[in-house]
Amino acid sequence: MSSEYLPGLAGVPATKSNISSIDGEKGILAYRGYDIKELAEKSTFEETVLLLLDGELPSQGVLDDFDSQLRGERRLKYKIRSIMKNLPTSGHPMEMLQTSVASLGMFYGGEEVLSDGICGNDLDYIHSMSVKIISRMATIVAMWEHVRNGYDPIEPRDDLSHAANFLYMLNGKEPEPLATKIMDACLVLHAEHTINASTFAAMVCSSTLASPFLVIAAAIGTLAGPLHGGANQRVVEMLRDIGKPENAKDWLDNQLAKDKVVWGMGHREYKTKDPRATVLQKLMVEWGESQGNLSREFETALILEEACEERLGPKGVYPNVDYYSGILYTEMGIAPDQFTPIFAISRVAGWLAHWREQLSDNRIFRPTQIYTGEGVRGYTDMAQR
């Protein structure tokens, strides 16, 4: 057995999975063999969730039934709302989301099944928990936007799609069709991405047979970091610091000279442009045209991407999914600190698919280490130190 230490477990296989795959050289991300670009164009979030959970595209009847189940689980018990109302409004929404999701198990139960040792074969239980979590996470994120501003949250509607209802609860008005289309595509694009940090955290937690609510809470905490899901918020802050398109090239040269981060650029898995970034860029253009103009941040991003391609392209550094998602959400009127929670209400589909896969052939994770400390030694009495 190899004892080589690889920082960050880079390139170390942690599991066998058939959920998603990445071809970093060609820039292809596929869910269960289906190219993400085609899914973003032709599928819906609800259908994509079923594809990830069950392994195949559903029939119309199965999809309709699943959609109905999601719509029926959008409401929250009032005590969860009370928990949210007692949280500091200055806290980051990801902290609120982790707290609220972790509390769901206390109200909705179900973890007792995990102690039976047969949970991996109980597909009804796994499906039921997945529906409850996916549906309610969107509700929680939308509710917080109102609660933290001192208002009662807007009640969910069961006559709207997952994306449309989320935007309705977030903004207080029924979204226009293009906004729903774009949000739905964004949810599809962010739903799964092989064994990234948050998915690995979910798998490790799953392997202990923890409650699925705690599994997702562990993943949320991991996604919150700026090196993972929090990067899209940093991208918008970066573009605002640059100020205007004509500043982009000089700003980049200054950053590179100081060996500083260019947020939204580069991905460990891709040697070309992230396919999700390509789709998001097109959606941004479509949204800008519908509004009659492209934002200054987006124009700056385009110029900065050109400069980065010239200077960083030879090193295989190109835009990742975070580069355009934050700009797009900003143009849709969404607060920057809500970007990562929206990422979470999409990625929960992938987390739950991996939860199901982990339970099907479970073994608790227990990696080893290379010890670099002192050898065994005797205790030194206080008077002799």
Residue pair 216/71 in contact (Cβ under 8 Å)? The answer is no
The tokens describing 292, both together, are: 């009659």
Q: What is the rounded distance in angstroms from the CA atom of residue 218 to the CA atom of residue 215?
A: 5
CA 163 – CA 180 distance, rounded (Å): 6
Cβ-contact 354, 201 below 8 angstroms: no
Q: Hey, which residues are catalytic here?
A: 267, 322
Q: What count of other Cβ atoms lies within 10 Å of the Cβ of residue 267?
A: 24
Distance CA 228, CA 230 (A): 6
Angle at alpha carbon of residue 166, lines to 187 and 164, rounded to 5°: 80
* Cα distances (angstroms) measured from residue 364 to each of 194, 202, 203: 19, 12, 9
